[in-house]
Amino acid sequence: MRNVVLNNVRPFVDGKFGEPTKMCLVDGAWADSAPAETDEFDAKGALAIPALFGLGLDFKEPLRDDIYTFRDGVSAMRRGGFFGGLYESSANPIDDSQKLTAMQQLSAKSGMEFAFLGAFSMGYQCKDLAEMVELAQGGAVGFGDGNKDCSRSRFLRLAMEYGSMTGKRFFFMPLDDSLRHHGLVHEGCYADTLGMKGIPRIAETIAAFRILEMARFLKVPVHFKQVSCGDTLKLIETARAQGVDVTCDVDVYHLLLDDSCLFDLDSHCNVPMPFRSAEDREALWQGLESGIVNAISMNHDPVLRQDKEVNFEDAVPGAVSLEIALGAIWKPLCTRLSAARAVELLSTAPAQLAGACPSAIAKGGRANLVLLDPDRPTKVVPTLFAGQTRNTPLLGKEIPSSIVASYIGGVWTEV
C-alpha cells in the first residue's frame, strides 16, 4: 500500500467529472486527509476514472509462459488502469477444479480482482463435458468455449443443458468454423480486392442464431464475445425482446478499426474476430448508443514478436490492448456518448457481467482509479507495454489520450 495526495484532479463522482480538487488516497481508499509527509502528485486537471474491468484476458500462463506471464498481465493492467478482469485462456482451458484453484492462487497474489470462465468441454474439444458443477462451486463465474466454435450442435445442447444447473452464463465468440473456412479477414471489398480468403458475416450470424435458439429452448443465459457485425446485434435485440437472457460485448479495436486497414497488410491486424466493414463498425457504435451492447471488451491476447513479424496470413492472430485501450477509446467514446455511459461500458458493466463488484469513486470508500489526460496524445511505442509482446494494430500510431497513473488496490503506478 502506498498513500498519495492528488492535487488538481477531476474525480468521476455521481455520474460526472467534478471540478479540479484534491484527493487523499490512503490505504486504498479516498480519505479526508493523508498522513503528514505523504507524497503529492499534481494531476494537472487529469480525469480520475473508476478503474476498468477487462473482459477477455489471456495471460498464457502456465502452458505458454514463454509468451507471457500472469505478472506481465498484472503489470499491463496497472499501466492501463484495470482493477480486474474476466480471464479465459485459449491456451489453458480451465476444465477441472484443480486448474481453477491453481489460477485463483496465481491471481490471489496480484492484488487484482479476477473472475474465471470455466471450459464447458474438456480441452475445448467439444467431446467430453467438463465438471461444470464443481467448477461453479469452485468459483467459475461462467462457461466458455475458448473462442473455438463448437460445431456439434447436440454436444452444445447437452453442455448448456447440464450447465444450466449452475445458473451460470455461457460465453461464446460466435463464428461458424465451416463458413469461416480458413478465412482470416472480413469477406468484403478489401479482402476480395487483395484476393484474401474472407470470413462472411453469416459465419457470425448463423453461429449466433444457433446459440440464441439453444438459449431460448434451454432457458440458459448467454453472452456473445466480440460481436463484430450489425446483423448480429439485430439478432440479439430481437431475442432479447422475446425474453432470451442474452448479453454481448464489442472489442475495443472493432470500434476503432474496420477492414479498410487491410490494405496496409499489417500482420497486427490479424485478430481472431475480423475487423468488419465501416458500416458494421458504425452499427457497433449505434449498439453502444442504444444499449444493445452491454460492454466493451479488451481481448488481451499476447503474441510473440516473431509470430507477428511475418506476412499477414502466416501471423498468429491476436492483439494486446490493456495498456492503451483507455487512451485510444476514451475520446471517441465521449464524442458520441456521455461520460457516464463510457464509464459504464468500460468499468461497471464488464465487472457486473463477470459477477465482480464494480469500481466506484466516493469519498470514504475504496478508491480504484485511473488518471487520464484526455487531451494529451500518446504515440504507441513498445515501451508502453508490459512483458515482451507489443502486438497491437495501433503500434506506431498516435492515440488521442494519455494515461497518467493508476491507483489500484492501494498501489500507485505512474505511467
Partner 1 sequence: MSALEIKHLFGLRGVSKHDIRMILDNAKQFREILERPVKKVPSLRGMTVVNLFFENSTRTRTSFELAEKRLSADTVNFTSSNSSVKKGETLVDTLRNIEAMKIDIVVVRHKGTGVPKFLADNSNAIIVNAGDGAHEHPTQALLDMLTIEEKLGTLEGKNVTIVGDIRHSRVARSNLWGMTTMGAHVTLCGPSTLVPRNTELMDKVTWESDVKKAVKDADAIIALRLQKERMDDALLPSMREYRNTFGITHELLECAKDKVLIMHPGPINRGVELDSEIADGENSVILNQVTNGVAVRMAVLFLLAGGRANA
Q: Which is nearer to partner 1, 154 or 182 (CB)?
A: 182
Which cell is 342 given?
463510457
* Cα 143 to Cα 165: distance, rounded to the nearest angstrom: 12
DSSP designation for 388? S
CA distances from 289 to 95, 282, 334, 341, 346 (A): 36, 11, 11, 9, 14
Q: What is the smallest separation between the CB atom of 306 and partner 1, expressed in angstroms? A: 6
Number of residues that bind partner 1 (CB under 8 A): 19
CA distance 84 to 221: 22
Minimum CB–partner distance for residue 189 and partner 1 (Å): 4
Compute the C-alpha angle 412/81/333, nearest 5°.
145
Nearer residue to partner 1 within complex by CB, 57 or 191: 191
Our finding on whether 191 is near partner 1 (CB under 8 A) is: yes
Nearer to partner 1, 189 or 362 (CB): 189
Instruction: Kindly tell me which residue out of 265, 278, 357, 381 binds partner 1, with binding defined by CB under 8 A.
Output: 265
| Spatial CB neighbours of 173, under 8 Å, sequence gap ≥ 6 | 145, 147, 224, 225, 226, 272, 273
Contacts with partner 1, 297-316, as mask; x by CB under 8 A: ---------x--xxxxxx--
> What is residue 253's three-state secondary structure?
helix
Shortest distance, position 380 Cβ to partner 1, whole Å: 18
Looking at 7, 101, 153, 193, which residue binds partner 1 (CB under 8 A)? 193
Total count of residues recorded for the chain = 415
Q: Which is nearer to partner 1, 191 or 354 (CB)?
A: 191
d(CA 344, CA 374): 17
Smaller CB separation from partner 1, 16 or 305: 305
Stretch in the footprint of partner 1 (CB under 8 A) among 8-16, 122-130, 193-201, 344-352: 193-201
Q: In the complex, what is the shortest distance from the CB of residue 271 to partner 1, in angstroms, rounded to a whole number?
A: 16
Smallest separation, CB 314 to partner 1 (Å): 6
In the complex, least distance from residue 315 CB atom to partner 1, rounded to whole angstroms: 9
Q: Does 137 bind partner 1 (CB under 8 A)?
A: no
Which distant-in-sequence residues (6+ apart) come within 8 Å of 252 by Cβ? 296, 297, 298, 299, 321, 325, 328, 329
Cβ 260 to partner 1 shortest distance, Å: 10
Grid cell listed for 237: 435485440
Rounded least distance, CB 320 to partner 1, Å: 21
CB closer to partner 1 out of 178 and 242: 178
171 contacts 144 by C-beta, under 8 angstroms: yes
Pairwise CA distance, residues 210 & 174, whole Å = 9
Do 200 and 179 contact (CB within 8 A), yes or no? yes
Here's the x/- map for partner 1, 169-188, by CB under 8 A: it reads as ------------------xx
Residues in touch with partner 1 (CB under 8 A)? 187-196, 265, 267, 306, 309-314
